[in-house]
């Protein structure tokens, strides 16, 4: 039978097709529990190959060791039925098998081969796109979607999700006008699409449209605030407030939306957002009280996972901020061993960016600011290898700039901030930091001008 987009699926039971589509829609819309839903289908139809494939494939995106057993079990169940699967389904199995073995790039290539023959395989597109984000592959975040766009139009179920993926890929490659157009077009088709809301929020963040971003997120609050993606979207809203100096509002959002994650709140993506927000506040000199302690407790069980460098650097932030030197050293030791002995894709991510950043974080916390700068300066234009988005990886640049200022390397800080202000001249925080660098260089008139510009922006944006 074919799925609603005409993609062949090995089953003769419409209930399987309908159940898989419902589970997949939950995953795309970030609602409910797609795994629980597909488990219910498999309980009734244990021979449904694509159901097992879907479960294994979706679990790849958790990036946590605790789910690996479930992922491998689902994959092996599917592989045991591979002799009666079609080429498309076997292609998915190849992709997940590559993922299990740590070959994340190979997994994306396998999903891409599926898409070449089945451009309307929305599951393959979603998984490849989200994996591109995890790997920091910005070109494929855009072009992998572009390669299949001609197979879709408004008559094809799920077209809005494709537009959302394309919007984010366009944003990450700097085409902000077209990215916003695609994102808003997706939302016209499906207003409750958190990923497209997220893509438009990224556009506004990169362009420095803080007040517009706050208005956009608040106007659409009912469309995203109950989704499984809400923590990340609260983080985005916080960034807009932080850039215009509204730290009280940022702490309020943290306490109400990110601090107590509630049932099921052990999701690493949620902890990543909380950590990234607190570290930015730390860099801006904001006292966050005992919030680090609670967060460090949540990171402690996965301190030495070594599965994904992006997770490791956030664990490191938490431990050094909470002065847990033993836990921080555990992270460093585990990653150093991993780089020496491991062979998976995460080894390269750790070696090139993750480990230098972890060392820089340790140095920063110990007030060895020169060492922090020396660790970060060589990797500053290679940070995409860590994965995540431009907005998420900006924390590396912010850490290096603040370390430069505290190390009194004012000429370097001035150069970095000139670059930053040129890219985002509407950021009050950028001008405030530049004023500090200019004062350190003895350029007091220029510093006063930069500080006045920041103050004017703070006041103006706060009034809107």
- d(C-alpha 197, C-alpha 176), whole Å: 14
CA distances from 425 to 243, 393, 415, 437, 453 (A): 12, 19, 15, 16, 10
Asked whether 55 and 72 are in contact (CB, 8 A), the reply is no
- d(C-alpha 339, C-alpha 108), whole Å: 23
Q: What's the pLDDT at 261? A: 55
Average pLDDT over residues 69-73: 95
Encode pLDDT of 329-381 as tens digits. Answer: 999 999 899 888 877 888 999 999 999 999 999 999 999 999 999 999 999 99
- d(C-alpha 347, C-alpha 355), whole Å: 10
Asked whether 312 and 331 are in contact (CB, 8 A), the reply is yes
Question: Nearest-CA neighbor of 454 among 436, 440, 464, 191?
Answer: 436
Average pLDDT, the chain: 94
Encode pLDDT of 234-265 as tens digits. Answer: 999 999 999 999 999 999 999 999 986 554 44
Asked whether 270 and 231 are in contact (CB, 8 A), the reply is yes
Q: What's the pLDDT at 301? A: 85
Q: What's the pLDDT at 264? A: 45
Q: What's the pLDDT at 12? A: 95
- d(C-alpha 145, C-alpha 199), whole Å: 14
CATH class of residue range 408-463: mainly alpha
**Residue 173 pLDDT more than 50?**
yes
Listed as own residue / partner, the contacts of 358-363 with beta carbons closer than 8 Å and 24 or more positions apart are 358/312, 358/313, 358/316, 358/331, 358/332, 359/332, 360/399, 360/400, 360/403, 361/313, 361/316, 361/317, 361/320, 361/328, 361/399, 362/316, 362/320, 362/328, 362/332, 363/403
**Residue 464 pLDDT more than 60?**
no
Domain 1-152 is of which CATH architecture? Alpha Horseshoe (1.25)
Q: What's the pLDDT at 267? A: 60
- d(C-alpha 368, C-alpha 356), whole Å: 14
pTM beyond 0.85: the answer is yes
Domain ranges across the chain? 1-152, 408-463
Q: What one-character-per-residue DSSP string does 305-334 give?
A: --S-HHHHHHHHHHHHHTT-HHHHHHHHHH
Encode pLDDT of 369-395 as tens digits. Answer: 999 999 999 999 999 999 999 999 999
Q: How confident is the model at residue 120 (pLDDT cuts 50, 70, 90)?
A: very high
Q: Do domains 1-152 and 408-463 have the same CATH topology?
A: yes
């Amino acid at each position: 039978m074919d799925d609603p987009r005409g993609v062949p699926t090995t089953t003769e039971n419409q209930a399987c097709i309908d159940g898989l589509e419902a589970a997949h829609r939950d995953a795309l819309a970030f609602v409910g529990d797609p795994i629980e839903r597909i488990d219910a289908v498999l309980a009734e139809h244990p021979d449904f190959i694509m159901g097992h494939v879907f479960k294994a494939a979706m679990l790849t995106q958790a990036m946590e060791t605790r789910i690996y057993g479930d992922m491998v079990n689902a994959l092996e169940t599917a592989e045991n039925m591979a002799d009666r699967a079609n080429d498309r389904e076997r292609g998915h199995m190849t992709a997940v098998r590559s993922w299990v073995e740590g070959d994340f790039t190979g997994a994306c290539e396998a999903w891409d081969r599926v898409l070449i023959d089945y451009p309307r395989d929305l599951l393959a597109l979603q998984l490849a796109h989200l994996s591109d984000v995890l790997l920091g592959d910005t070109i494929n975040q855009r072009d992998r979607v572009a390669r299949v766009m001609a197979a879709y139009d408004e008559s094809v179920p799920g077209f809005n999700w494709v537009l959302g993926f394309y919007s984010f890929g366009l944003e990450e490659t700097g085409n902000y006008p077209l990215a916003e157009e695609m994102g808003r077009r997706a939302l016209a088709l499906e207003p409750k699409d958190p990923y497209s809301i997220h893509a438009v929020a990224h556009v506004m963040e990169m362009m420095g449209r803080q007040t517009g971003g706050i208005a956009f997120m608040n106007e659409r609050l009912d469309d995203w605030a109950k989704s499984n993606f809400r923590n990340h979207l609260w983080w985005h809203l916080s960034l807009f407030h932080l850039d215009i100096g509204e730290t009280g509002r940022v702490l309020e959002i943290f306490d109400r939306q990110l601090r107590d994650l509630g049932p099921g709140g052990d999701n690493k993506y949620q902890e990543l957002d909380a950590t990234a927000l607190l570290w930015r506040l730390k860099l801006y000199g904001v006292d966050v009280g005992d919030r680090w302690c609670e967060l460090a407790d949540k990171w402690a069980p996965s301190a030495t996972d070594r599965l994904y460098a992006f997770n490791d650097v956030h664990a490191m932030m938490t431990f050094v901020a909470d002065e847990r030197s033993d836990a921080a050293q555990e992270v460093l030791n585990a990653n150093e061993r991993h780089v020496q002995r491991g062979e998976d894709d995460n080894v390269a991510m750790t070696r090139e960016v993750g480990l230098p950043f972890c060392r820089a974080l340790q140095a920063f916390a110990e007030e060895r600011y020169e060492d922090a700068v020396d660790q970060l300066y060589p990797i500053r234009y290679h940070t995409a290898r860590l994965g995540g988005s431009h907005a998420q990886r900006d924390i590396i640049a912010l850490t290096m700039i603040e370390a430069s200022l505290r190390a009194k390397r004012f000429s370097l800080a001035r150069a970095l901030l000139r670059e930053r202000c040129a890219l985002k001249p509407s950021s009050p925080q950028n001008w405030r930091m530049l004023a500090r660098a200019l004062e350190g260089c003895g350029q007091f008139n220029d510093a006063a001008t930069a500080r006045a510009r920041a103050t004017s922006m703070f006041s103006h944006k706060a009034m809107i």
